[in-house]
Structure 1
Amino acid sequence: MYTVAAYYRFVTLADPSALREELRTMFAGTDLLGTTLIAPEGVNGTMAGDAATIDRLLDFLGERTGLDRGEVKFSVAEVAPFRRLKFKLKREIITFRNPVDPTNAGQYVEAKDWNELIADPGVLVLDTRNTYESEIGTFAGAVTPALATFSDFAAYVRANLDPEKHTRVAMFCTGGIRCEKASAYMLEQGFPEVYHLKGGILKYLEEVEAGKSQWQGECYIFDERVSVDHEDFAG
């Protein structure tokens, strides 16, 4: 059984290359699999291994980047969900191509409070993921823009949404990282109240009982499992 940890952390890294080399040295030859992206703006990864290896990884990232273990999304897999181990340098840990400060993001909503928020008819519920992801699952009542890539989100907002009409927006994505930039962008565009699901769909599936869930379908993920639902989470 593999423990799968999905995480991100926006933090200024003075030397991303040095961090990559430390990670390579520490985990080469171990059972750790998956990909972690490293950029000047932080880290973003989904990794799998036995529980002890994942603990060692998260402890290291906590020391080097301030990653909060409480914000990591955990699930389990019976077979290896990745084929290789990769630590990759990038310009952005999530590609948006629109200058925005992700540290000025919208208001977090905990998984336990999400159902109440999206039940409000005055709230626009917005799926920020790509079309091929939303086609296999999304939240009840959510608007699913026709996005080929996340970098299309800004153009969608400019063309379709109005800060004076859409005064309360609740957005979500797989693990939360896209909403950090998407919600910050919407606030910059003048939308007065922007909320986002803390930890994304993965944290929701981990913490909310299936019988109380407003999630419909499955959640697309970027590993060999292809998709997950409530049953795939250890919590």
Structure 2
Amino acid sequence: MVLHNRLSATELKQKLAAETFRRVTVSFYQYAKIADPQAFRDSLYLSLSQIGVFGRVYVAHEGINAQVSIPEHHFEAFKQQLYAIPFLNGIRLNIAVDDNGKSFWVLKIKVRDKIVADGITDPSFDMDNRGRYVNAAEFNRLTEDPDTVIIDMRNHYEYEVGHFDKALEVPSATFREQLPMAVEMMQEHKEKNIIMYCTGGIRCEKASAYMLHQGFKNVFHLEGGIIEYTNKAREQGLPNKFKGKNFVFDERLGERISDDVISQCHQCGEPCDTHTNCANEGCHLLFIQCEKCAAKYNGCCSQECTDVLALPEEEQAQLRKGIDKGLMLFNKRRKR
């Protein structure tokens, strides 16, 4: 029995483009104890692939983290499959705010050491002792209190294009770096209300548990993250305190939350919040680029990469050999 994809990326993208039905992008997570992650992974892959689900799913002993694209006509079947799993019964599904149905084109389910890489090695750390949930209305009320501090537990490139009013950035590109930084930043605010948030809730939930582990008391985390907040604010007619775009880790690279454009093109400095990856496969830098610069540099991050892109593919492939792109992110805090 095949429990992985066998088609090429080109074939998969062609199949997605030829679909005549709508898709729904959904994210969900659950911290839970999974005794055999590999067996759980294989069973989940079989059931999801049978109803045409695409996406990226991580499974570990500590739980599951998923971002998926579901054929709309199979949405109820998808929910029934999930809810049949005891620790996922009734789980909250975060429906994408701004969805073109093209977020994913293949199903990948991977077994990981953790569903969120956190760098925590203390065996006494307990995810069961986590901060208190706040929903959209409670978040709005609590943020009006001058004794409340809001912490964004996303990476710097996510914060750059959109964040909540008065939210503090923890300036890093990885969650494992942010946790000790957040503890240090909040020492002077230890007696205040601390609200942590992220995209869908998974990082801020773990961060809230870590803050409690470090001796903080009044720790909250936004239920369902930015995605759930936005959907509930719209449903309930609440003021939207998030400005800009919510970065997402799929083909869309972002979903519009408000009309505010709070960031700039990394090449010319004009207002822009469109992320892209450098078209030079030997670079593939994630950065913000406006339409004019995209045309000028042919989708590349620099003239050097534009020149490489103009070379025959054979020469480009030769130049790429041995290159470790690593975490290729534009970081305004350090030189490239």
Q: Once the 2 structures are TM-superposed, how far is the Cα of residue 161 of structure 1 from its aligned partner?
A: 2.1
Bigger radius of gyration among the two: 2
Q: Once the 2 structures are TM-superposed, how far is the Cα of residue 166 of structure 1 from its aligned partner?
A: 4.5
Which residue of structure 2 lines up, in the alignment, with residue 93 of structure 1? 115
- Provide the C-alpha distance between the structure 1 equivalents of 2:131 and 2:81, rounded to a whole number of angstroms: 28
Question: Relative to total residues, which structure has the larger strand share, 1 or 2?
Answer: 1
Q: Once the 2 structures are TM-superposed, how far is the Cα of residue 186 of structure 1 from its aligned partner?
A: 0.5
Higher relative contact order (CA 8 A, sep 6+): 1
Which residue of structure 1 lines up, in the alignment, with residue 245 of structure 2? 218
CA contact (8 A) 1:124 1:166 kept: no
Q: Once the 2 structures are TM-superposed, how far is the Cα of residue 163 of structure 1 from its aligned partner?
A: 6.4
Q: Number of paired residues?
A: 231
Aligned: 1:187 with 2:187: no
Q: Once the 2 structures are TM-superposed, how far is the Cα of residue 148 of structure 1 from its aligned partner?
A: 1.3
In structure 1, stretches of 5+ residues that fail to align are: none
Which residue of structure 1 lines up, in the alignment, with residue 130 of structure 2? 105
- Provide the C-alpha distance between the structure 1 equivalents of 2:241 and 2:53, rounded to a whole number of angstroms: 33
Partner SS state of residue 8, structure 1: strand
- Aligned CA RMSD, in angstroms, stands at 2.0
- Provide the C-alpha distance between the structure 2 equivalents of 1:14 and 1:146, rounded to a whole number of angstroms: 35
Aligned: 1:47 with 2:68: yes
Letter in 2 for 1:71: R
Which residue of structure 1 lines up, in the alignment, with residue 57 of structure 2? 36
Change (3 A) 1:207 1:30: same
Q: Identity over the aligned pairs, expressed in percent?
A: 32
| 2:150 equivalent among 125, 128, 131 | 125
Q: TM-score by structure 1 length?
A: 0.91
Q: TM-score by structure 2 length?
A: 0.65
Which residue of structure 2 lines up, in the alignment, with residue 74 of structure 1? 95
Aligned: 1:147 with 2:172: yes
- Provide the C-alpha distance between the structure 2 equivalents of 1:164 and 1:113, rounded to a whole number of angstroms: 20
In structure 2, stretches of 5+ residues that fail to align are: 1-21, 259-336
Which residue of structure 1 lines up, in the alignment, with residue 24 of structure 2? 3
Change (3 A) 1:125 1:7: same
Greater alpha carbon shift after TM alignment, 19-28 vs 36-45:
19-28
Change (3 A) 1:192 1:120: same
- How far does the alpha carbon of each residue in 1:56-107 deviate from its partner, in whole angstroms, 9 at most, with x for none? 3332222224225452111263332112111110011111111432221100
* Structure 1 segment 18-37 matched on structure 2, within 5 A: 18-28=39-49, 30-37=51-58
Change (3 A) 1:181 1:59: same
Aligned: 1:228 with 2:255: yes
